[in-house]
Amino acid sequence: MADDNLHARMHSVSGETRRIVDEVLEYSRRRILADGTPLDHAASEAELRRIAGTTIDEAGIGASRALAIFEHVLAPACITTDHPQFLSFIPSAPSKAAIAFDLVVSASALYGGSWLEGAGAVHAENEVLGWLAGEFGLPAGAGGVFVQGGTIGNLSALVAARDDARIRADDPSGSRGRWVIVCSAEAHSSIVSAARVMDVDVVTVPADEDGVLRAPAVRRALEEHGDRVIAVVATTGSTNFGIVDDVAGIAALKREFDFWLHIDGAYGLTAMLSPLARDLFRGVEEADSVIVDPHKWMFAPYDACALIYRDPETGRRAHTQHAGYLDVLTDSADWSPSDYAVQLTRRPRGLPLWFSLATYGAGAYRQAIGHSLELARRIAAEIAARPELSLVREPQLSVVVFEREGWERADYDRWSARLLEEQRAFVVPSSHAGRPNARFAIVNPLTTFEQLTGILDTMR
């Protein structure tokens, strides 16, 4: 191609373009339909530089070579998060329909920030958000937006809480003193991160011995800090243990104190969809805002957090951006997702979840979530029956934490490294109260009891 046509090369439909699309789609097809994709493991920067070589230069190395480097060098240096034996942190297990539709979203050049530019995509996302709101017991009219992840979801909700507190107190300058967010000492680190960004204080209150935050401890914080409290955060499924706070007891305090109740359900609120766990979540229906991450336990690809407001106007009031070029959007009553969180530009990241739900139905989701809950209970009983192992806590949801008698942190580290080296599992050590432990986070419907007992067998 002549040099004077280079400006159009990347965007023209040509023989080169067709070859690129065919090769990328064929790789994607093989990856989505692969049976037994390895766990893989990280590589050093020096090793990747040596094997991959220089890939960016003036002329380009071509699609075939670039794809080959990705497939054979870069991708194997990334751990496969949707592997059934990826059991660390909180894994991801996107459905095949959701993964496939993510390709469609990218191919369709969709912008999901405004109704004007993406009405169809926004309508589909809002259907999912409305369905989730109904499942959580929130009133008709509740809604919000899909954001990047739980950190952005928590931050956006708490910004709305602060804005609401200022309006209700008629105190736009915050002259009452520094605002306060109340949460459990077991709350996710993103709450402290959000408070730091907002320049407000966090008051952490102790959970009970079982890790559950209950109303008496919250009451003491409310009495001490008074009308400086803008929000109380309850966790429904802590990352380390999967613990659900006493939301009903905390929500009852709203009858006596004026505060915004936010539910951080990034991982665990999904379990509310299953009859096996629904009773754990009484009180969620009283929340002013909730988040849940579909990329964790609702089988969507990275990255998607559903942020839902009881009264969406509180979110819109706090987050709508104003500028001359945005007047055409802000002067309209249409639902523009960018009005509900700390973002403007956004892809319609809720569409893969919409397509998966529309394809398989909510019943398939309830059954898959129930599988993880039942498997966690079953493997916990197995751990309790093995004399060399002990449960740190009985699981409430699908996180199982346990200790190996006599092991120090170095023993857990060696064991974890061996599991990954043998491509048996990815189980990184954790800790609680200064003691090292092991932890299974179970969200993948393809994880089996036999796989988990096989991992336990390696601890003997």
pLDDT along the chain (460 residues), means of 10: 76 97 98 95 98 97 98 98 98 98 97 97 98 98 98 98 93 74 96 97 97 98 97 97 98 97 98 98 98 98 98 97 78 91 96 98 98 98 98 97 98 98 97 96 98 97
**Domain 101-360, CATH 3.40.640.10 — does that match?**
yes
Whole-number pLDDT of residue 325: 72
Return the residue matching tokens 């989730």: 132
CA 409 to mean position of chain CA atoms: 28
Whole-number pLDDT of residue 153: 98
Instruction: Measure the CA–CA gap between 53 and 45, rounded to whole angstroms.
Output: 11
Whole-number pLDDT of residue 111: 97
**Two structure tokens written together for 133:** 């709101």
Rounded to two decimals, the pTM is 0.96
Whole-number pLDDT of residue 324: 76
Q: What CATH number belongs to 362-457?
A: 3.90.1150.10
Whole-number pLDDT of residue 1: 45
Whole-number pLDDT of residue 329: 72
